[in-house]
Amino acid sequence: MRLCNTQFSVLYGDIVKLDADAVTIPASPSMRMEAGISAKIKEKAGQEVEEEAVQQAPGSPGEALLTGGGNMPAGHIFHCVMLDKNNNGSPDYLRLSVRDSLLMANSMGLKRIAFPAIGASFTGLNPRVSTTIIVEETRKAVEEGMPFTEIIFIVCDPAPYIAFKRALKLSFNKESD
């Protein structure tokens, strides 16, 4: 789907192989990359990416912190802090951290940004809620004039793939209302 010269795509694939300007991942305040997609990113990108992230700790819930992409094709990683110090997540933290990553990407002139289903497995979120928030925030950013060429929603699991497709369809069908 296209909006304001930005292509919105849902891909079923491996985020560590994706050639984009930046990828986003969920993060805890400690900025350790120990589980889930963060651990997978660290394995490909290299230990130095986690070290760069940890130097910025603690991250505040709702913010995104930036590191280089290490050994990945993507040049940058936005670590979206999704949990508070008690390991509680929320839709608000997701919304704020996605927004923060988009604002930074725009200020850096990045054009191709990738989002997995950030936070989809955290308490208080699920694939439907997570993907809806991510689609809403990326669409809002483009409507506000952030000139991205492509927003990529990338997943390796059927549930978030279906959820992203549904969220995009619902979001773009709002245009015709």
DSSP, collapsed to helix, strand or coil, labels residue 78 as strand
Of 3.40.50.300, 3.40.220.10, 3.40.50.1100, 3.60.70.12, the CATH number of 2-176 is 3.40.220.10
pLDDT in tens, the chain (177 residues): 889 999 999 999 999 999 999 999 999 999 999 988 999 999 999 999 999 999 999 999 999 999 999 999 999 999 999 888 787 788 999 999 999 999 999 999 999 999 999 888 777 788 888 999 999 999 999 999 999 999 999 998 888 889 899 999 988 876 543
Cα separation values, 23 from 66, 85, 124, Å: 10, 24, 23
**Which of 107, 116, 43, 110 has the alpha carbon at shortest distance from 80?**
116
Q: What is the DSSP letter of 23?
A: E
CA distance 125 to 142: 24
User: Is residue 22 a contact partner of residue 113, using CB atoms and an 8 Å limit?
Assistant: yes
User: Is residue 36 a contact partner of residue 83, using CB atoms and an 8 Å limit?
Assistant: no
Specify the pTM: 0.92
User: Is residue 99 a contact partner of residue 141, using CB atoms and an 8 Å limit?
Assistant: yes
What are the boundaries of each domain within the chain?
A: 2-176
